[in-house]
Amino acid sequence: MSKINIQTKSSLALNNSAGGVHERWRLIKDSVGRYGIVVGGLGVIFAIAVIFLYLLYVVYPLFISATAQAVNQYSVPDSSKGKTLFLGIEEQNEVGVRYTDNGEVIFFSVQTGKTILNQSIKIPEGSKIVSFSQGSPVSEGAVVYGLSNGKAVIVKHQYKITYPDNVRLITPSIDYPMGEEPIVVNESGAALDKIAVIIGEKTSAIVAKTADKIHLSSFEKEKSLFADEAKLTRTDTVLDYSALDVADILIDKEGRNLYLLNKNGQLGLFDIADKSSPTLIYEQNVIEAGQAVTSSAFLNGDLSLLIGDSNGLVSQWSKVRDKLNHFAMQKIRVFKVSDKAVLAINPEQRRKGFMTVDASGDVGVYHTTSEREMIKERVVDSAPVAAAISPRANALLVEAENGKISFWTLDNKHPEVSIRSLWQEVWYESYPKPDYVWQSSSANSDFEPKYSLTPLVFGTLKAAFYAMLVAMPLALMGAIYTAYFMTSKMRQYVKPSIELMGALPTVILGFLAGLWLAPIIEEYLAGLFALIIIVPLCVIAFAFAWQFLPKSTLQKIPEGWESAILIPVIILSAWFAFTVSVPLEAFLFNGTLRDWFKTELGIGYDQRNALVVGIAMGFAVIPTIYSIAEDAIFSVPKHLTVGSLALGATTWQTMTKVVLLTASPGIFSAVMIGLGRAVGETMIVLMATGNTPVMDLSVFQGLRTLAANIAVEMPESAVDSTHYRVLFLAALVLFMFTFIFNTLAEIIRQRLREKYSSL
Amino acid sequence: MIKLWFKSGSPWIWLNAAAVSTCMLMVVGVLGLVMVRGVGHFWPSQVIQFSYQEEGKQPQTIIGEKVDSSVMPALMAKSAGHKMADDEETLIQYLIKVGNRDVTGTDFRWIEERKILERSEPLDLMVIERREWGNFYGRLLEVKEAGNTLASGAEAWPVLQAKIVEALTIYKQIAHLEKKEIGAINYGLERLRLKQRRLQLDNQWDEAAKQQIASETAAYDVKYKEYQAQLATLYQQIRRHTLVAETESGAQVKIPLNKVVRVFQPNSMSIGDKIIHYVVKVVEFLTEDPREANTEGGIFPAIFGTIMMVMMMSVIVTPFGVIAAVYLREYAKQGFVTRLIRIAVNNLAGVPSVVYGVFGLGFFVYILGGNIDQLFFPESLPAPVFGTPGLLWASITLALLTLPVVIVSTEEGLARIPSSIREGSLALGATKLETLWLTVLPMASPAMMTGLILAVARAAGEVAPLMLVGVVKLAPTLPLDGNFPFLHLERKFMHLGFHIYDVGFQSPNVEAARPLVYATALLLVLVIVGLNLAAIIIRNNLREKYRALEG
């Protein structure tokens, strides 16, 4: 810098004296050049920082909590038409619906509370509405009214979206999916105090409770080949179950399982797949003694049940097969929602989240899998009457006893992910026990995506471990020999050749590993193990025999050519290992080693497994480790080794006691950088493993690494979805991994350089 | 004695030596494997006719090329489910490429040595390379023209050769018309559609514009009809000729000549013929489009895509890399900050390439590309132009990936230039920039060259990030063509490395595609080894040069 200053000053002086335009132009160019380069240089370095910041920026929204905002509060529309039994919002958060206990359906504007449409449900004269229930979301807004005369009316609210003048217009209407005529559920005309319904494409069912019986009526739609109209076949049965205390009836959307819930928490599970003979398959108490069930609902997908009690607890119960392959309801997790009774549970329709409203008017939004409490807000001050969450889970309505409806919007984009769900065991629905699972996509939204990064990190480390197991001995021993024992003439060729191997595209190594090496290893597994034992033994035996060669021959061959001499030995012994392994294998293991592992030890064998990856990736990592370690060993100051030798140490003693110790930080940094490369390698693992995200230590099993996972799933993930952000998180984790390894290595290397220069 | 020998450390030295030998053997082995398999693919191998009898069945004829063989000891064969006689020690099997996928359903078949009754290599066996269904193996019976026999028996062969040359010429014309001419029309029509949309968006869609677009569309339509008519006659011509051949089982198969790429009788070819055949095949491999889901034909689009991408990347990475290195070495104050930056740059070289891909996809494609589309291409929304993976983003991503290589190499070059040279220039009154531009950079240019070559070698072999930012298995059009603006940076492209991955692992017929993958791998290895050797040689020369300067 000082040099530059002097130069600038001198040329300024020159400039003043001469005063030429040309001189000034040169100076302008010089400073423009300087600023250009400084700006460009810093810009490039800044661009590098941007990578890290951008990854953080994408990942960050995963971990922020959700927000809720009050938008409006208004009086219940048409409050004279009865008390609210059910509230609903449609997809666009524009139109809400209110069903009343008088059989009125009131559609209103969600924003302002103004009535848009009022329809009365046709209820036969002389009968009263005594029960009400909502069908599952697949029924698309179907609800059922149970009447005092043993009949039921099924109604459905629906919305038509049109775009007159390019403005969206939503027109609500009601429909009777099973016909306007009430359906007779109980012939004798007893009141239906509790009722539940599902309306499916083929099967629809009504389950209703009269004073002492539970009735199941199902309707099978059969489309005959010739007739245009579908024929309804009706089956009626009465369940063999004490109906006295049944407080809640739930049918899953497949119409296979029927849950009957008592006030005091007794849960009965019926298998109603065969509608003519429902069987009780499980019964259990689901809440603590002394508490009462205050609300219940299916979680989206209808695979598990949420039960809220008077103590403010919401527990999630899922049907799980136990060890004996019987179905049992298992309590997967519990949320402490409030100290008061949980009055309503509203599941989200697209995710495994739910909303609760407690007796004091607190609204909570939770996500089951990640066990996160996303929102907890006091929405209304008096006790709530009804609540609704919109299909996209971005708005909610709560009606309170004081006759007001509150409309809030929610911003809750990524509830599925929490530190816990990423790294710890999670008990997923229908799983027998908590587990680490990566399963980012499924056929439909009934099954939750399972984002556990643990199996991927495990796979990454497993692959890296086996790669290092192969690479470290070969690379480090090779480095020691090349740097210290090999003649310089040979070193001149050997070092670049091995380094060149590092430049080979990994896609080629992966291809060879997957299509050439994997079948060979599968066939000659025993040969490979024999190779590991026989080749070193042969080398030592050859070395031992070598010293007995006549002195005259030995003198002709200069030192440092051992490597070249050994090449035929290695080839021959490797060939020998493979030939001898075949009969040996047959003799020792009575067939193939692979089968033996399977039958005797129960270890399965995947063709593309960690062993193949270890060898192929080891191959890719060898040059990195070799090159850096060799540099470190080679640049150990000569006076140290010469001194050691002069004191009478043998070359090997000098090697282990002086050279290796001095160079050990360099060797360590070589290993670190190699590890960094093994962790981030993509193509080899992508091609040489089955890419199954299993957590299995066995060397014969496949794996899936973070990098391969990104390469496989990134192109298919939707921008800004949770999956997309989780993949960015995986990239960030990889980035951090390698960043730490490399920085460590780099700092150690710089220290070492300083040490050498001081020696 | 042995104890003493172990104590001397000599066995350890030998073991270390063995590690080096093993590494060398592995390098040579891998290169050799790729070389042998890759080179061998194009050689016309003999077609063998087997008389084969399976247990309890009539002898049958099998015609095909021997691809692979396996020797299995009796015990293993038994456990694999083969019946073995007591005196048999091994089971020898051959993998035969029997082709005729349209007749038999498979291309390959394993046969057992012990069941072969007889084998021969009849001269009249022919191989037909087809545009669909893979190879055909069999005998030529006759050549037909529009249903009438033109020649049969021994005379059929020369007639067939002549007719195939004719058919290929017509085929080329058809391909030219369909891809080039009609492709250009389609491209023009699409541009007109976008122009119209643009005008509508800008509220300039008036009568004049309407008329202009309508007249241009009409002009294209006229041209299109003309080409359609030409195509119709060409198709009629090419479909006139058919050959009739007999398969191994004696079934007769009619193959229209427009489906035939090449016919040859490998058993009757002389060495000279085979060499010519080999050269023709290699040329085809390098210059033609792929056929049959990439498993046959050439890899020209992949070569072209790789070169385009690497060139674009070089144009981007060189100035930035050099400026950053010059800043670090010549302008920045050496100290903690530069040290930190150097660590960061070195670190960046170790960051997994797939992370760059993720960054490129998120930042370049979705954010930059998405905004460019909003600003400059509103007419084609919602279809993305730059908001989707493509050549430009792939090049920029790889430029970022290879930036450390160029920076490190250039810095090294700058550091080697003795300071006396700079001081001399400054003493003579040159400004800093002049010193840099006229003396330092020219001297460092070989180092930059080395860096660039290494960067190119790395980029050419990198696949993982490209999978995210722009590579596809089959690109319908090249990124450079005769349609304005000629260079289409937004297009997706094919890449050699990805081609290997895709054909080797995602293709429906991996076994049949494998030789082609080896050939592609060989090409890639040759390119990369060549580039690296060039870099090493340049670097060594450079060292010599500066040694002389310093001395």
Chain-chain contact of A509 with B533 (C-beta, under 8 angstroms): no
Q: Selecting from 3.30.460.80, 2.130.10.10, 3.30.420.40, 1.10.510.10, what CATH number does the domain A66-90+287-437 have? A: 2.130.10.10
Contact call for residues A526 and A589 (beta carbons, < 8 A): yes
Residue range A669-680: average pLDDT? 90
Kindly state the DSSP code that residue A123 receives in the 8-state scheme. Answer: -
Tell me the pLDDT tens digit for each residue of A428-455: 888 888 889 888 876 666 778 889 999 9
Kindly state the DSSP code that residue B147 receives in the 8-state scheme. Answer: T
**Is some CB atom of chain B closer than 8 A to the CB atom of A475?**
yes
Computed over every residue of chain A, the mean pLDDT equals: 85
Chain-chain contact of B323 with A41 (C-beta, under 8 angstroms): yes
**Is some CB atom of chain B closer than 8 A to the CB atom of A509?**
yes
Per-residue pLDDT at B298 exceeds 90:
no
Tell me the pLDDT tens digit for each residue of A280-316: 888 888 888 888 888 888 888 888 889 998 888 999 9
Residue range A90-103: average pLDDT? 88
CB atoms within 10 A of CB A187: 9
Contact call for residues B317 and B399 (beta carbons, < 8 A): yes
Structure tokens at B117: 């009754």
Tell me the pLDDT tens digit for each residue of A233-280: 888 888 878 777 788 888 888 888 889 888 888 888 888 888 888 888
Interface of B with A in 516-545 (CB under 8 A): 517, 521, 524-525, 528-529, 532-533, 536
**Residue pairs spanning A and B at CB distance below 8 A:** 327
Kindly state the DSSP code that residue B180 receives in the 8-state scheme. Answer: I
Residue range A565-575: average pLDDT? 91
Q: B434 to chain A: nearest residue by CA?
A: A30
Tell me the pLDDT tens digit for each residue of B440-452: 988 888 888 888 8
CA–CA distance, B124 with B154 (Å, rounded to integer) = 9
CA–CA distance, B185 with B190 (Å, rounded to integer) = 9
Give pLDDT, residue B494. Answer: 92
Give pLDDT, residue A137. Answer: 63
Chain-chain contact of B433 with A38 (C-beta, under 8 angstroms): no
What percent of chain B clears pLDDT 90, i.e. is strictly above it? Answer: 25
pTM for this predicted structure: 0.88
CB atoms within 10 A of CB B137: 24
Task: Identify the residue among A34, A48, A599, A667 best suited for mutation to test binding to B, counting B beta carbons within 10 A and taking the highest.
Answer: A48
CA–CA distance, A656 with A641 (Å, rounded to integer) = 11
Q: A1 to chain B: nearest residue by CA?
A: B333
Contact call for residues B91 and B230 (beta carbons, < 8 A): no
Give pLDDT, residue A5. Answer: 47
Assembly ipTM: 0.89
Give pLDDT, residue A14. Answer: 47
**Is some CB atom of chain A closer than 8 A to the CB atom of B18?**
yes
**Is some CB atom of chain A closer than 8 A to the CB atom of B362?**
yes
Give the pLDDT band of residue B507 (cuts 50, 70, 90): confident
Kindly state the DSSP code that residue A513 receives in the 8-state scheme. Answer: I
Residue range B285-301: average pLDDT? 86
CA dihedral (B130, B132, B134, B135) in degrees, to 10, reads -20
Asked whether the bond before A137 is cis by omega within 30 degrees of 0, the reply is no
Q: Where are the beta strands (DSSP E) in B395-550?
A: none
Q: How far is CA B349 from the centre of its chain?
A: 26
Helices (H), A590-703: 593-596, 610-634, 638-646, 651-653, 660-680, 683-688
- What are the residues facing B73 on neighbouring strands? B90
Give pLDDT, residue B272. Answer: 92
**Is some CB atom of chain B closer than 8 A to the CB atom of A683?**
yes
Q: A690 to chain B: nearest residue by CA?
A: B505
Per-residue pLDDT at B317 exceeds 50:
yes
CA–CA distance, B326 with B441 (Å, rounded to integer) = 9
Our separate counts of H helices and E strands in chain A read 18, 31
**Is some CB atom of chain B closer than 8 A to the CB atom of A659?**
no
Give pLDDT, residue B415. Answer: 87
Q: pLDDT: is A145 or B77 the higher one?
A: A145
Q: Where are the beta strands (DSSP E) in A418-510?
A: 438-439, 450-451
**Is some CB atom of chain A closer than 8 A to the CB atom of B468?**
yes
Residue range A614-626: average pLDDT? 92
Contact call for residues A146 and A193 (beta carbons, < 8 A): yes
Q: Class of A456-521+606-758 per CATH? A: mainly alpha
Give pLDDT, residue A447. Answer: 77
**Is some CB atom of chain B closer than 8 A to the CB atom of A532?**
no
- What SS3 string covers A539-551? HHHHHHHHCCCCH
Residues of chain A in contact with residue B423, where contact means CB-CB under 8 angstroms, are: 3
Residue A231 phi, psi dihedral angles, 5° rounding? -105, 135
Amino acid at A528: L
The domains of chain A are located at: 2-63, 66-90+287-437, 123-285, 456-521+606-758
Contact residues for B265 (Cβ-Cβ < 8 A; gap 6+): B123, B124, B125, B126, B127, B157
Computed over every residue of chain B, the mean pLDDT equals: 87
Tell me the pLDDT tens digit for each residue of A504-560: 899 999 999 998 999 888 888 888 989 999 999 999 999 888 888 888 887 887 777
Chain-chain contact of A591 with B75 (C-beta, under 8 angstroms): yes
* Nearest-neighbour CA in chain A from B159: distance (Å): 42
Give pLDDT, residue B275. Answer: 93
* Nearest-neighbour CA in chain A from B374: distance (Å): 17
Residue with tokens 């000279």: B272
Residues of chain A in contact with residue B341, where contact means CB-CB under 8 angstroms, are: 45
